[in-house]
Amino acid sequence: MTAPDLFSPITFGSIEAKNRIVLAPLTRNRAGAGNVPQAIAVTYYTQRASGGLLITEATQVSPEGQGYPDTPGIHSPEQIAGWKKVTDSVHAAGGKIVLQLWYTGRISHSVFRGGKTPVSASAIKPSGHVYLPGWTKADYETPRALETTEIPGIIAEYAAGAKNAKQAGFDGVEIHAANGYLIDQFLRDSANQRTDQYGGSIENRVRFLVEVTEAVAAAWGSGDGVGVRLSPHNPYNDMSDSDPVALFTHAAASLKRFGLAFVHVVEPIGTPNPIAPAIKAAIAAPLIVNGGYDLGTSQSAIAAGETDAVAFGKLYIANPDLAERLKAGGPYNEPNPKTFYGGGAAGYIDYPALAKA
């Protein structure tokens, strides 16, 4: 049997992918009125359909889940219809696409929440600032700790987001439990100082993630269309944990029973004492890694059995036909950071394909 490489097909649960090249979820802030995906989003994702799996930008499961300007949602009929145009086009181009389900928690502002204070695991204000509509800056607000009785309502919003994603034609969903957003705020002890069943011990801090995953898998119909994204080391959004190895291996083991499609770990290449291999072993699902990989390091990691697939971010922004370029060994367009967040077509859908470069 030929050893797998970046260009080999792979099955993520119920999703049959033609290669192991994954579009990382990349916030681009280009949704229209009502946080509805626009025609340029159809073009953007369709341009990248030669990858094995596309993971959409983070998409809020409710109006209160928003934390940035112009990010799409999956909670209104108009948003579902907008995303349906994306999935239809990606499928027509031979691609597979999953929606990332998101709730920002304390990484938000009352202006996005109808004047209501942001919520989190605990009332701990993160350092840094938030961008408001119009791209003005403001300090983060001190969030309100969610009442225990409120948590089932938010879990239900994740489940509704999964149902809406299925209606919109997605091949699956990814639960965003990384990068300092709400689920991560429950997981890591720098943000979770609760004393109820959702705080204190690792088992308790993992509980919210497990309950969200259970609800999303039930809403989807099974776990084989559901992935989870984790970021054990990532300090983004003022996050840390006193024992990430114990926390994230326990979290992965707790999710094993759902038969997930994949686990997606943000762990930059070269990270000392990487946790991703232990997560992969504990969850018994295909592993997608993300964090500075190129062709050579991707191939080496897959050949060594360290991962099953690799997600690309900035490289995929600038190279819509990344699969073809990787197979050819380049050349690659350079990404323009000035157009990463917000704007129109420039820096979004105007990067040339290899045949036109």
DSSP β-bridge partners for residue 230: 265
To the nearest 10 degrees (0 to 180), the angle between helices 276-283 and 244-255 is 20
Give whole-number Cα distances, 276 to 38, 152, 202, 266, in Å: 35, 29, 18, 8
CB 66 within 8 A of CB 107: no
- Give Cβ neighbours of residue 350 (< 8 Å, ≥ 6 apart): none
Q: Is position 332 annotated as part of the catalytic site?
A: no
CB 244 within 8 A of CB 255: no
Half-sphere exposure of 95 (CA within 13 A, CB side): 30
Residue carrying structure tokens 């038969």: 259
Nearest of 96, 70, 103, 259 to residue 184 by alpha carbon = 103
Alpha helices in the chain, H assignment, sequence order: 39-47, 77-92, 151-167, 182-187, 202-220, 244-255, 276-283, 295-303, 314-318, 322-328
Nearest of 157, 175, 173, 174 to residue 165 by alpha carbon = 173
| Cα–Cα dist 238/188, whole Å | 11
DSSP sequence for 73-85: BSSSHHHHHHHHH
For residue 355, the tally of other CB atoms under 10 A from its CB is 7
The catalytic position among 45, 103, 181, 293 is 181
Kindly tell me the burial class for residue 111, based on how many C-beta atoms sit within 10 Å of its own C-beta (0-12, 13-18, 19 or more).
middle
CA-based torsion, 314, 315, 316, 320: positive or negative: positive
Catalytic residues: 181
